[in-house]
Chain A
């Protein structure tokens, strides 16, 4: 098969996928009596508003928070039980967020609205979008963009390509890989549903060639769908970044500051597409997600299906804990994931992995002078010059930072990875980029 990839920049970090890529997805359920925490903000946009009160009994799959704003997504209980409290709780993002706390009664009694097996063929476009919105589906790759909004772009953007992002370029992460092997047909169904929303568009499942068995499985599964094809990609980080993926698959460049829809594309993560299938064909809202639990500090690295809201400490105990005290725990992959300072937090919709590193693996080398080797320039997939942006950020030169297109940084971390001087390139650029954007918003 002809391998595609993006043209400029990119790196090859050690993959680390060998620990978990052969581990089938295991289902982990919360124990009876466990406290489940559902933060009201698990997505980009306005927080959802609670529609249950302290003391209420809720059922599995019951909607407990409603989306009132346009850019918002509802939240459902992933267990049956009693609402214990509604108060700010610590989230994996490190902030306190208003959350609904539900004590699991262990019965998993389902809400009557759940579980009707239906075919999506008879649904209208509006019905499908409504089901996706009501299921609380957001981008599960990490960004948490509400999926019903993404699937319904302004009519001026003519969508001709829907891309399932199965690149999974982040080291260590293997959930998309396992989904493609284990839930192959349902993934194709999910894509077919999304294609029904955009008649005439073509569906692509884009997979890096370090997952050859997934490519083979998907190629077999899409036989008979003439509007879906599998695209094999040459493994390179950050291929799973929206703009790089669109370029690799379609050859189109998404303009600076534009959304994929402007290039006629919709990109959705594997787990998201699977959630769409469950929402539309089975009337089940988003209540679970698949996470990779890995790193050199853990006993049983693997892929696990967890209930959203489950406490990470409970989960870590349930899957065998640590063989060595971790020094750093990262929510997500090692390139773009966020280091968390406490595991006493719930899994939320966007938690894709827990990477637990020992002191040895977590210790970063000290920073030294830039030697102007230019490796960051060659590595940047956006054609930026990170060494200059680093200087602009350190000297707080907003005008220069913008003139050097610092706002176009996709925060992939490739520059910091390759830097032989171990400079904190991405770190300073990302931090300053946030500052610049905040000051622009004020104006």
Chain B
């Protein structure tokens, strides 16, 4: 028997959690919102989701092939990126945009996977959220399709006569007319204008809670993010800022991309802080910038840009929020740095 024993450094056991189990949990967390998106936005939503995921997997495979690296699609991170990208796309009408429905997801997914993720070193090395980078790229490439009239619900329930919302997202409507044009209940269940995955707040909260319970993400970023939007909007409103006069803090939470952004986008591992304190700052920064853009900015919605901006601050945040090492007094810890 001697001579055949394996020798390695301790520890000799590992938890069952793997990258693919984490990614699988994220996918499970997104399923409710994706299903609601398909219900409200119809078959084209399903096509776009499928196209995004497929294109992300293909992009990852092609890159790995060219770069002569082992294929990493089994870790499911490309599927997550594709799915998240789809959640950020409007459901286009098959009649008016028969080509864009297929092309737009491919362009976005290739940009997300190859430019934002792989060129910076692949999984864990991307400094911005790949799906949001893909969305930002599409917003520049297809400005009319990615905003405005493309957002209307066209799905089964919408056609069946449930109050079809106007062809503007509630946040855009608030910006233009001062009125959301949809009830809060519509926002909660998702029967409003918006991207495929952002409208059903309830589904997103359920998915987000699942991730927190499974310990895939911590509560810090989403809770602080959402709370900051609520509190900051309240302050602006009651401070008498004219631009915030028409805004109801509760509406700000359930209309637009806040829930999707807070639970699924700002918590992206690679582009969010690893320290507990840093995660609080990340949540606060996202909430602060989101509210600034919504209230004062030219765009009706600020979730994606706030997260992208905060992504850029993450290395700095991590650097200055390192936890106190056990056995060092607070004063001493500062001296060391």
* Chain A interface (Cβ < 8 Å from any Cβ of B): 8, 11, 13-14, 94, 171, 243, 247, 253-258, 322, 325-330, 332, 334-344, 355, 357, 362, 364-365, 368-374, 377-378, 381-385, 387, 403-405, 408, 411, 413, 416-422, 424, 426-427, 430-431
Report the bound CA distance from A5 to B91 in whole Å.
Answer: 52
Please name the residue on chain B nearest to A316 by beta carbon.
B1
Please name 7 pairs of A and B residues whose Cβ atoms are closer than 8 Å in the assembled complex, sorted by A: A253-B327, A328-B6, A328-B8, A362-B6, A364-B14, A377-B276, A420-B18
Q: Which of B7, B17, B124, B328 contacts A405 (CB 8 A)?
A: B328
Q: Which of B124, B269, B327 contacts A243 (CB 8 A)?
A: B327
Query: What are the 7 closest A-B residue pairs judged by CB atoms, nearest first?
Result: A413-B11, A374-B274, A256-B327, A371-B124, A427-B9, A383-B323, A405-B325
Given A335-B13, A337-B12, A420-B21, residue A371 in contact with residue B269 (CB < 8 A): yes
B7 in contact with A385 (CB, 8 Å): no
* Chain B interface (Cβ < 8 Å from any Cβ of A): 1-15, 17-19, 21-22, 72, 75, 77, 121-125, 218, 269-270, 272-276, 279, 322-329, 336-337
B276 in contact with A418 (CB, 8 Å): no
Task: Determine the chain B residues whose CB is within 8 A of the CB of A326 once the complex forms.
Answer: 1, 5
Nearest-neighbour CB distance to chain A for B25, whole angstroms, equals 10
Task: Determine the chain B residues whose CB is within 8 A of the CB of A341 once the complex forms.
Answer: 2-3, 5, 7
Q: Which of B77, B121, B124, B322 contacts A385 (CB 8 A)?
A: B322
Please name the residue on chain B nearest to A381 by beta carbon.
B326
Please name the residue on chain B nearest to A431 by beta carbon.
B9
B325 in contact with A384 (CB, 8 Å): yes
Report the bound CA distance from A372 to B14 in whole Å.
Answer: 18
A418 in contact with B5 (CB, 8 Å): no
Looking at A257, A340, A355, A369, which has the most chain B CB atoms within 10 Å of its CB? Answer: A369
Nearest-neighbour CB distance to chain B for A260, whole angstroms, equals 12
A422 in contact with B11 (CB, 8 Å): no
A383 in contact with B325 (CB, 8 Å): yes
B275 in contact with A377 (CB, 8 Å): yes
A383 in contact with B1 (CB, 8 Å): no
Report the bound CA distance from A348 to B272 in whole Å.
Answer: 48
Report the bound CA distance from A339 to B325 in whole Å.
Answer: 29
Given A339-B6, A384-B325, A405-B336, residue A422 in contact with residue B12 (CB < 8 A): no
Known: A341-B5, A383-B323. 9 other contacts (CB 8 A): A254-B327, A328-B6, A342-B2, A364-B12, A368-B123, A371-B123, A383-B326, A385-B323, A426-B11
Nearest-neighbour CB distance to chain B for A64, whole angstroms, equals 27
Report the bound CA distance from A175 to B300 in whole Å.
Answer: 65
Given A371-B269, A426-B11, residue A408 in contact with residue B6 (CB < 8 A): no
Please name the residue on chain A nearest to B327 by beta carbon.
A256
Please name the residue on chain B nearest to A330 by beta carbon.
B12
Task: Determine the chain B residues whose CB is within 8 A of the CB of A421 once the complex forms.
Answer: 19, 124
A328 in contact with B12 (CB, 8 Å): yes
Task: Determine the chain B residues whose CB is within 8 A of the CB of A335 once the complex forms.
Answer: 10-13
Report the bound CA distance from A329 to B77 in whole Å.
Answer: 36
Report the bound CA distance from A28 to B248 in whole Å.
Answer: 77
Report the bound CA distance from A371 to B122 in whole Å.
Answer: 9
Please name the residue on chain A nearest to B8 by beta carbon.
A339
B13 in contact with A334 (CB, 8 Å): yes
Q: Which of A256, A374, A424 contacts B273 (CB 8 A)?
A: A374
A408 in contact with B326 (CB, 8 Å): yes
Task: Determine the chain A residues whose CB is within 8 A of the CB of B22 once the complex forms.
Answer: 371, 373, 420
Q: Which of B13, B17, B218, B325 contacts A420 (CB 8 A)?
A: B17
Please name the residue on chain A nearest to B21 by beta carbon.
A420
B4 in contact with A418 (CB, 8 Å): no
Task: Determine the chain B residues whose CB is within 8 A of the CB of A357 once the complex forms.
Answer: 12
B275 in contact with A374 (CB, 8 Å): yes
Q: Which of B14, B75, B323, B329 contacts A377 (CB 8 A)?
A: B323
Task: Determine the chain A residues whose CB is within 8 A of the CB of B329 once the complex forms.
Answer: 255
B327 in contact with A255 (CB, 8 Å): yes
A364 in contact with B8 (CB, 8 Å): yes
A340 in contact with B13 (CB, 8 Å): no
Task: Determine the chain A residues whose CB is within 8 A of the CB of B5 once the complex forms.
Answer: 326-329, 339-343
Task: Determine the chain A residues whose CB is within 8 A of the CB of B75 once the complex forms.
Answer: 368
Looking at B3, B13, B17, which has the most chain A CB atoms within 10 Å of its CB? Answer: B13
Given A329-B5, A340-B7, A420-B19, residue A171 in contact with residue B13 (CB < 8 A): yes
Report the bound CA distance from A243 to B327 in whole Å.
Answer: 9
A418 in contact with B327 (CB, 8 Å): no
Report the bound CA distance from A136 to B88 in whole Å.
Answer: 70
Task: Determine the chain A residues whose CB is within 8 A of the CB of B273 once the complex forms.
Answer: 374
Report the bound CA distance from A289 to B21 in whole Å.
Answer: 42
Report the bound CA distance from A301 to B155 in whole Å.
Answer: 62
Report the bound CA distance from A427 to B7 in whole Å.
Answer: 12
Task: Determine the chain B residues whose CB is within 8 A of the CB of A322 once the complex forms.
Answer: 1
Report the bound CA distance from A408 to B327 in whole Å.
Answer: 9
Looking at B6, B9, B11, B336, which has the most chain A CB atoms within 10 Å of its CB? Answer: B11
Please name the residue on chain A nearest to B217 by beta carbon.
A373
B19 in contact with A253 (CB, 8 Å): no
Q: Which of B1, B7, B19, B323 contacts A325 (CB 8 A)?
A: B1
Task: Determine the chain B residues whose CB is within 8 A of the CB of A374 once the complex forms.
Answer: 269, 273-275, 279
B7 in contact with A343 (CB, 8 Å): no
A243 in contact with B9 (CB, 8 Å): no
Given A325-B1, A369-B122, A418-B17, residue A382 in contact with residue B12 (CB < 8 A): no
Task: Determine the chain B residues whose CB is within 8 A of the CB of A408 once the complex forms.
Answer: 325-327
Task: Determine the chain A residues whose CB is within 8 A of the CB of B13 once the complex forms.
Answer: 13-14, 171, 334-335, 417
Report the bound CA distance from A329 to B5 in whole Å.
Answer: 7
Nearest-neighbour CB distance to chain A for B268, whole angstroms, equals 9
Nearest-neighbour CB distance to chain A for B127, whole angstroms, equals 10
Report the bound CA distance from A249 to B185 in whole Å.
Answer: 52
Please name the residue on chain A nearest to B322 by beta carbon.
A385
Report the bound CA distance from A328 to B329 in whole Å.
Answer: 41
Report the bound CA distance from A422 to B329 in whole Å.
Answer: 32
Nearest-neighbour CB distance to chain A for B212, whole angstroms, equals 14
Q: Which of A339, A377, A420, A430 contacts B12 (CB 8 A)?
A: A339
Task: Determine the chain A residues whose CB is within 8 A of the CB of B21 once the complex forms.
Answer: 420
Given A243-B327, A371-B123, A374-B269, residue A336 in contact with residue B6 (CB < 8 A): no
Nearest-neighbour CB distance to chain A for B22, whole angstroms, equals 5
B270 in contact with A385 (CB, 8 Å): no
Please name the residue on chain B nearest to A13 by beta carbon.
B13
Please name the residue on chain B nearest to A8 by beta carbon.
B326
Task: Determine the chain A residues whose CB is within 8 A of the CB of B121 once the complex forms.
Answer: 369
Task: Determine the chain A residues whose CB is within 8 A of the CB of B324 once the complex forms.
Answer: 383
Nearest-neighbour CB distance to chain B for A154, whole angstroms, equals 19
Report the bound CA distance from A330 to B5 in whole Å.
Answer: 10
Please name the residue on chain B nearest to A405 by beta carbon.
B325
Report the bound CA distance from A421 to B48 in whole Å.
Answer: 30
